[in-house]
Structure formats: C-alpha cells, structure tokens
C-alpha cells in the first residue's frame, strides 16, 4: 500500500467515526437511510480513482495537468448528480444538513488530495 492510499483510507475511517459520534450526539438518526455513509464512500471511491489516474501522470507535466482538470470537472459533475439523485429520491424528506455534510466532505477530500499531490517531500 502506498502512502496516499493509506492517508485517504485513514481519513475516511476518521470521517466514519465522526459520523457515528455525530449520530450519537444528535437526536436525528443520520444513518437511517445510508445517504451520509454513501457520501463518504462516494468521495473515498473517487479519491482512489483520482490517485490512481494522477499517479500514472505525475511526472508527465502537461498530461498531469490535463488529467487533474478533467478529474476535477468529472468530480463536480458527478457530485451534482449525486445531490440531484438524493433530492429526487428523498422528496419532501430531504434533510438540509445533508447538503452541508456533502459540501464539507467535498472540501475536505479536495484539500487532502491537494495536500497529497502538492506537498513537497
């Protein structure tokens, strides 16, 4: 296992622990329908895909930049589709807290991926 995979994996475990603690501390059952956990798994899966693609192009310069831009656009489009799917399926039961949770996850995973690829050794 490489360092980037381990970092994303442990970060995801931390987020699941935070979700469980948040679920225990709040009155609403956040994990009853699986959307909160599904959002974490979506970002974890996409991050692994992102790492796999960018690792191959890391030393290629222009190819790395093109891959990174394409993956960023794809992540945005798929995230919007995830949110639309959630809102459509939930209907009137849509939880506004989920949108905040999703945005926080998006920002955190983006920051971790940026840190993994752009930090100097």
Task: For the chain, report the end-to-end CA distance as a whole number of angstroms.
Answer: 18
Per domain, the residue ranges of the chain are 3-26+34-118
How do the pLDDT tens digits run along the chain, 121 residues long? 588 888 888 899 999 888 888 888 877 776 677 888 889 999 999 998 888 888 876 677 777 788 888 988 999 999 999 999 999 999 888 888 889 989 999 999 999 988 887 775 4
| Whether pTM exceeds 0.85 | no
* 30 close to 19: Cβ distance less than 8 angstroms: yes
Of 13, 1, 4, 2, the closest CA to residue 115 belongs to 4
List, as own/partner pairs, every contact residues 56-60 make where C-beta atoms lie below 8 angstroms and the sequence separation is at least 24, other chains included.
Answer: 58/117
CB atoms within 10 A of CB 42: 19
Four-CA torsion 86, 88, 94, 98, nearest 10 degrees: 20
């Amino acid at each position: 296992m490489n360092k980037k995979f381990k970092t994303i994996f442990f970060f995801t475990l931390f987020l699941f622990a935070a979700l469980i603690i948040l679920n225990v501390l709040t009155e609403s059952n956040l994990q009853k329908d699986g959307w909160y956990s599904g959002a974490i798994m979506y970002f974890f899966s996409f991050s692994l895909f992102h790492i796999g693609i960018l690792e191959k192009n890391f030393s290629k310069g222009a190819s790395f930049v093109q891959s990174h831009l394409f993956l960023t656009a794809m992540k945005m489009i798929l995230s919007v589709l995830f949110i639309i799917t959630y809102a459509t399926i939930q209907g009137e039961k849509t939880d506004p807290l989920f949108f905040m949770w999703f945005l926080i996850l998006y920002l955190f995973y983006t920051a971790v991926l940026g840190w993994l690829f752009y930090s100097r050794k």
